Structure 1
Amino acid sequence: MKFSAVVLALAGAAAAAPVPEPVAAPMPMPTPPGIPSAASAKTQLAALTVRAWTNTDTYDRDLFPHWITISGACNTRETVLKRDGTNVVTNSACASTSGTWVSPYDGASWTAASDVDIDHMVPLKNAWVSGAASWTTAKRQEFANDLTRPQLWAVTDSVNQSKSDKSPDSWKPSVSSFHCTYARSWVQVKSYWALSVTSAEKSALTTMLNTC
């Protein structure tokens, strides 16, 4: 009798126990191509020319033509949205009509492409004052639409606007765990395109790489 009562009590407790709800897996962060290891990035950073900005008064965004057609109806922006989003659906004009984008700079998740900007890791003005002023327009176009290196990122529009043309000594992503990837990507772009860094910029990048 006592045994039956215990069994019934346990069964009742089991039935009353709350069933844990399934937890959604975190959305994957975008990973543009060409991000070097921390060791490689440190070597690249050490080799960059250090000098102050030049040609600061002559910058014009139109000197870096973008977004250009990449394939079919898709331009650079639309290509990055498809690359960095999850379950992205596009229409006949290659515009994203649905999908999910996770901004690595602030960790925010968006389901409307209009809330997402494509950030130039190394801003166009920063490139201009770091050496791109002497480039041809064709080379600047290649830089502004570079899909081969970690130069283009889908991020929250307001965060991109907050970053503007700032280098890492003046602006960093609010997600501190992303600082390592951010610095590695920044250095890779500057190294490939042979752009210079300021002393403050180099110091900030060194600190960020030391978090890797």
Structure 2
Amino acid sequence: MSVPRKTAAAILAALPLLATLSCGGPSTATEYEAAPPGTPSAAEAADLLDELRVAPEGSMDGYDRDEFPHWAKAEGRNCNVRERVLIREGTDVDTGRDCYPTSGEWNSWYDGGTWTDPSDLDIDHIVPLGEAWRSGASEWSTDKREDFANDLDGPQLVAVTDNVNQSKGDDPPEEWLPPDESVHCGYAAAWTGTKHNWELSVTTEEKKTLRDVLQGC
């Protein structure tokens, strides 16, 4: 039985949509859009990864979180950087005169948790301070380390569930990735973008893990 021309055209036009639906749709699209500001696309991150210097992991000798002063004062009102990230990433956020959120809702990018108390959230450094120390920051001035620890412009800061962040510690991607697999693409891109922005090195294992994740995007 022949199919009318208009019907055939409609079927052909619908095929891309049907294919997307049958594959579950762009499962990582929304999660990737929730990545920190300045996160490169997966393709851009793959190119940036090729430009990073590969070097063995450095020593933790002399490391202390106090070598990376945070949270600094941020522009506008009486806010610090932690409060700015909470305001940026929350929904319907109200603040007191001191800029600390008094109400709002936050979705944790790493695990999909939803919180209404800002004390349930940590502001994670995508590239942890200890990892930065091992990959070049030990040679920086304190002022530069402070800029790194308070970087609101690059993909370095994100509000996430506190105990999930604490499980990460200072681990690199080959040892820790977010519990929600759908954000691995964005996480690898944000990590790579941060390392590129700050000219930090990567180890061979770290680069392989990042490349594997990015190629799966």
TM-score, normalised by the number of residues in structure 2: 0.83
Unaligned 5+ runs, structure 1 = 1-25
- Paired amino acid for 1:36: P
Which of 174, 186, 191 is the equivalent residue of 1:169?
174
CA positional deviation for 1:143: 0.3
CA positional deviation for 1:27: 11
Unaligned 5+ runs, structure 2 = 1-29
SS in 1 for 2:153: coil
Match for residue 210 of structure 2? 205
Q: Percent identity?
A: 52
- Paired amino acid for 1:120: H
**C-alpha distance in structure 1 between counterparts of 2:72 and 2:144, whole Å:** 13
CA positional deviation for 1:36: 0.8
User: Would you identify which runs of 4 or more consecutive aligned residues in structure 1 move more than 4 Å?
Assistant: 26-29
Alignment of 1:18-167 (within 5 A): 30-71=34-75, 72-167=77-172
String of CA shifts for 1:87-115, please: whole Å, max 9, x gaps. 01100011111100001100100000000
Distance 1:27 1:94, change over 3 A: farther
**C-alpha distance in structure 2 between counterparts of 1:138 and 1:131, whole Å:** 15
TM-score, normalised by the number of residues in structure 1: 0.85
- Paired amino acid for 1:153: V
SS in 1 for 2:196: helix
Distance 1:46 1:88, change over 3 A: same
Which has the greater radius of gyration? Answer: 1
SS in 2 for 1:36: coil
Which of 193, 201, 204 is the equivalent residue of 1:196?
201
CA positional deviation for 1:46: 1.0
Distance 1:113 1:28, change over 3 A: farther
**C-alpha distance in structure 2 between counterparts of 1:29 and 1:80, whole Å:** 16
**C-alpha distance in structure 1 between counterparts of 2:51 and 2:99, whole Å:** 40
Match for residue 19 of structure 1? none
Query: What CA RMSD, in Å, does the superposition of the two structures yield over aligned residues?
Result: 1.6
CA positional deviation for 1:58: 1.6
CA positional deviation for 1:31: 3.7
Are the counterparts in 1 of residues 87 and 93 from structure 2 also a CA contact under 8 Å? yes
**C-alpha distance in structure 1 between counterparts of 2:69 and 2:206, whole Å:** 26
Match for residue 186 of structure 1? 191
- Paired amino acid for 2:121: V
Are the counterparts in 2 of residues 29 and 104 from structure 1 also a CA contact under 8 Å? no
Number of residue pairs matched? 187
SS in 1 for 2:175: coil
Distance 1:29 1:155, change over 3 A: farther
String of CA shifts for 1:122-147, please: whole Å, max 9, x gaps. 00010011000111111100000000
**C-alpha distance in structure 2 between counterparts of 1:86 and 1:30, whole Å:** 13
SS in 2 for 1:70: coil
Are the counterparts in 1 of residues 35 and 190 from structure 2 also a CA contact under 8 Å? no
CA positional deviation for 1:35: 1.0
